[in-house]
Amino acid sequence: MKNIAVFTSGGDASGMNACIRAVVRAGLQKGLKVFGIMHGYEGMINGEFIEMDSRSVGNIIHRGGTILKSSRSERFMTPEGRKLAYEEVKKHNIDGIIAIGGDGTFKGAQAFTSEHGIPFIGLPGTIDNDLYGTDCTIGYDTAINTAMECIDKVRDTATSHGRLFFVEVMGRDVGYIALGSGIAAGAEDIFIPETQTDLQAVSDKLKQSAHKESYIIVVSEGDDAGHVKEISEKFKEMHPEYDIRFLVLGHLLRGGNPTAGDRILASRLGIAAVNALIEGNHNVMLGWRHNKLAQTPLEKAVKHHIEVNRDLLEILQLLSY
Q: Which residues are catalytic?
A: 128
CB 9, CB 70: distance < 8 Å? yes
Question: Rounded to whole angstroms, how far apart are CA atoms 77 and 249?
Answer: 30
Which residue, 136, 163, 169, is CA-closest to 151?
A: 169
Residues 6+ apart with CB under 8 A from 220: 168, 169, 171, 174, 175, 177, 178, 179, 190, 191, 192, 193
Question: Rounded to whole angstroms, how far apart are CA atoms 230 and 232?
Answer: 6
Question: Rounded to whole angstroms, how far apart are CA atoms 199 and 215?
Answer: 15
Question: Rounded to whole angstroms, how far apart are CA atoms 12 and 19?
Answer: 12
What beta strand segments (E) does 88-212 contain?
A: 96-101, 120-124, 163-169, 189-191
Q: Chain centroid to CA 260: how far? A: 16
Residues 6+ apart with CB under 8 A from 50: 35, 36, 37, 38, 56
What beta strand segments (E) does 57-153 contain?
A: 96-101, 120-124
CB 147, CB 248: distance < 8 Å? no
